[in-house]
Amino acid sequence: MDSTEQHTSRMGRRHPRYEIDTELHVTTPDERATMRGRSLNISESGTAGVFVTEWVAGTAVHLEFSVPVTSRPVMVAGILRSRSGYRHGFEFVDLSPDQRDVKSKTCRTLALLR
């Protein structure tokens, strides 16, 4: 087990996180505007990003971001699970088989780049 896996196990995370720096767009169902932020990391279960707004944990969102394994933006549903200041952690929900495939390929690719 490498140090990342040990840290992940101690922290109780289901999946390792991989750094990714890309623009992250978030829209909530009741908002007509999309908030733009920066992603921090991605995992099999979700992503984290920095935004200048604050949402309440449990807020349903639509996420859009770019990944290195496809030229099209990834668009998925999510739920805000955690917030610390301007850092927000989102869990992916209701992924289609294609979305799961892109997410898994992205994590595998980023793991190779460590």
Question: Which helix (H) or strand (E) is 19 found in, with range?
Answer: strand 18-19
Distance CA 39, CA 33 (A): 18
When pLDDT is cut at 50, 70 and 90, the band that residue 7 belongs to is very low
Q: Is the pLDDT of residue 1 over 90?
A: no
When pLDDT is cut at 50, 70 and 90, the band that residue 44 belongs to is very high
pTM of the model: 0.84
Domains of the chain, by residue range, sit at 3-112
Q: Is the pLDDT of residue 51 over 70?
A: yes
CA neighbor of 70 nearest in space, from 93, 37, 36, 103: 103
CA neighbor of 20 nearest in space, from 63, 52, 61, 65: 65
- Around Cβ 44, how many Cβ atoms within 10 Å? 16
Spell out the CATH class of 3-112: mainly beta
